[in-house]
Structure 1
Amino acid sequence: MGHWLERNIVEPGKLPLLLALGAFVLTFVVTRSVTRLIRAGKGPFRNVESGGMHIHHVVPGVVLSVVGGFGALASRQGLGSGVFAVVFGVGAGLVLDEFALILHLADVYWSEQGRKSVEVVVVTAAMVGLVLAGFSPFGVDDLSADELQDRGAVIASVVLNFVFSLLALSKGKARTALFGVVVPVVALVGAVRLARPASPWARRFYRRRPRTRARAGLRACRHDRRWAGLGRRFQDWIGGRPDPQPSRAADRRS
């Protein structure tokens, strides 16, 4: 294990990234555990307030991210870079745990919209993990030594994989496009398959093709039916179940 760590993490200079990822994941797990205890009214933890205002943990998260980021740039290497990497990971974990709050500019932490925070954290951790495993953006790591010396081959590879990711994004497959940045075959699959019905690609190219539009809608429905429930249960297991939303009938009665 020590030899593997030295060869694959320390020598390539990835130790700060590993420390940041570890701090990021651990911070998210601890933060979610604490907030779930506060929500249940258990344990010694309470919401932090000042002058009657609830201080969200995104606030210290932003401060720690700024300190860790600038500190890592200033130290570059040595013990300092590792320390600031941990500080940055902690800050990023606090910030992204409340990503939905930043996105909606509202306290949606335990609402259905709050699921977006869990999704962003999982995707971020997975992306950093892929980089740690040796995947380079746009598949440059797939090139041979001779191809890497050929600047034209590198540029062509980057452009082609970028186009695949862009096509996947235009077809309404944001996560596929994101993972396709570091795993080009994922972007290729997303680029060649049918677009999501509400995507820009479908609105532009399926408008006069009712059969294709129907096939895209059917495929999206089957995909969501197969994976949406599993994804929700996974998010609930990680971040906690959102508060039940009042029905529209109850809203009309009130």
Structure 2
Amino acid sequence: MGRWFHDSIVETGRLPLFCFFCGFVVGFLFIRFSVRMIRAQVRWWPGNVTPGGTHIHHVVFGVVFMLVGGVIGLALPDNLIGWRAGVAALFGIGAALVLDEFALILHLDDVYWAKAGRTSIDAVFAAIAVTGLILLRVTPIGVSDVSDARALYPGLGGWLIGAGYTLVNLALVVITLLKGKIWTGLVGIFIPLLTIIGAIRLSRPDAPWARWRYGKRPRKLRRARRREERIRKPLIRAKIAVQEFVSGKPDADPPEPGSAAEPAVEPAADATQSPDAEPNRPREH
């Protein structure tokens, strides 16, 4: 195992990326454990950081860690491998703290324990998937396509083949995303076969592609809705179950204004009623 790690990670110059990945995963798991302990009001666990009554979100600490790790990492010479790996881990911890509150940045509101806060978990899972693929030396579309094609076909022809291959794959990624298949599109940037499948198959019924293309094709829209009920919704429920296992369940949505759960507001007293008069009493039934 040690030999494989040295040959595959250290010798290939991916030790800082590996440390970033480990720091990111450990930082995310720790902060989620911490906030769940705080939410459960465990007495022996340190609570929120509130100097002067101001609650400091952990995204602030994440930004600081990213700045410190990023600047030091840029300043260090290449031969200090251990130091560069250490600051890469610090940068990964900071990135985890920031993405764990991605929903707060997106909505500009504290939705951490709301259903909208699941966006943060999606962002974290996406970052872990992308970093893991890069760590496994799976390169995204366009990084080496042109150079590989020119190595096989020297001259302008190789350049055109590589550029055309990249453009076709990027078009398939865009079509897949427009069909509402976000994860397929993101992972397909690294594994083009997925975008071919995603672009060929039916769109999700609420996606932009379905609104543009299925308006005059009710049969396709019905098939897309059946497929959504049969395949997509069970997968989404499974994904939500995994998210809640890792990050905790969100709070229940507040009652809508005017709903039965909202207490009725008593009518204001009649301005014409004398202050000494007996107030109106509810009728007895």
Q: Work out whether the TM-score is over 0.5.
A: yes
Aligned residue type for 2:99: L
Mapped to 1, the partners of 2:176 and 2:30 lie a distance apart of 34
Quickly say closer, same or farther: Cα 1:145–1:151, change in 2 above 3 A.
Answer: closer
Deviates more, 1:140-149 or 1:107-116: 140-149
Q: Distance in 2 between matches of 1:250 and 1:13?
A: 62
Query: SS of 1:33's equivalent?
Result: helix
Aligned to 2:61: 60
Structure 1 counterpart of 2:172, from 164, 178, 201: 164
Instruction: Name the CA shift for 1:145/1:11 in 2 (closer, same or farther; >3 Å).
Output: farther
TM-score by length of 2: 0.82
Q: Give the one of 244, 247, 263 matched to 1:239.
A: 247
Residue identity matched to 1:183 = I
Q: Structure 1 vs Structure 2: percent identity of aligned residues?
A: 40
CA contact (8 A) 1:139 1:184 kept: no
Shift of 1:250: 4.4
* Structure 2 unpaired stretches of 5+: 265-285
Count the aligned residue pairs. Answer: 254
Amino acid across the alignment from 1:219: R
Q: Residues 15-42 of structure 1, C-alpha deviation per residue, up to 9 Å, x if partnerless?
A: 1000000000000001010110000011
Which aligned runs of 4 or more in structure 1 are off by greater than 4 angstroms? 139-146, 250-254
Q: How does 1:192-207 map to 2 (within 5 A)?
A: 192-207=200-215
**Aligned: 1:189 with 2:190:** no
Superposed CA deviations along residues 185-211 of structure 1, whole A, max 9, x for unmatched, are 111111111112222211211111111
Do the aligned partners of 1:118 and 1:238 also contact (CA within 8 Å) in 2?
Answer: no
Residue 136 (structure 1) shift: 0.4
- SS of 2:233 mapped into structure 1: helix
| Deviation by residue 1:204-246 (Cα, 9 ceiling, x = unmatched) | 1111111112211221222333212211110011001111223
Judge which range, 138-147 or 197-206, deviates more.
138-147
Mark the CA change 1:144 to 1:31 in structure 2 (over 3 Å): closer, same or farther. same
| Larger CA deviation: 55-64 vs 219-228 | 219-228
Answering whether residue 100 of structure 2 is matched by residue 100 of structure 1, we say: no
The 1:163–1:147 alpha-carbon spacing in structure 2 relative to 1, beyond 3 Å, is: farther
Q: Which amino acid aligns with 2:29?
A: V
1:137 match: secondary structure: coil
RMSD of aligned residue pairs (Cα, Å)? 2.2
Q: Could you tell me whether the CA contact under 8 Å between 1:112 and 1:243 is conserved in 2?
A: yes
Q: Give the Cα separation in 2 of the matches to 1:68 and 1:243.
A: 34
In structure 2, relative to structure 1, the CA distance for the partners of 1:72 and 1:151 (3 Å cut) is farther
Q: Is the contact between residue 72 and residue 87 of structure 2 (CA under 8 Å) also seen in structure 1?
A: yes
Partner SS, residue 197 of structure 1: coil
In structure 2, C-alpha distance between the alignment counterparts of 1:132 and 1:163, rounded to whole Å? 25
SS in 2 for 1:138: coil
Q: 2:124 aligns with which of 97, 121, 125?
A: 121
Taking the aligned partners of 1:172 and 1:119, their CA distance within structure 2 comes to 15
Q: Deviation of residue 148 (structure 1)?
A: 8.5
Counterpart of 2:135 in structure 1 is 132
Larger relative helix fraction: 1
Letter in 2 for 1:55: I
Asked if 2 retains the 8 angstrom alpha-carbon contact of 1:139 and 1:181, the reply is no
Does the CA contact (< 8 Å) of 1:64 and 1:90 recur in 2? yes
Q: Report deviation, 1:141.
A: 6.8
Q: Which has the larger radius of gyration?
A: 2
- Verify the 8 A CA contact 1:206 1:213 in the aligned structure 2: yes
Q: Which amino acid aligns with 1:127?
A: V
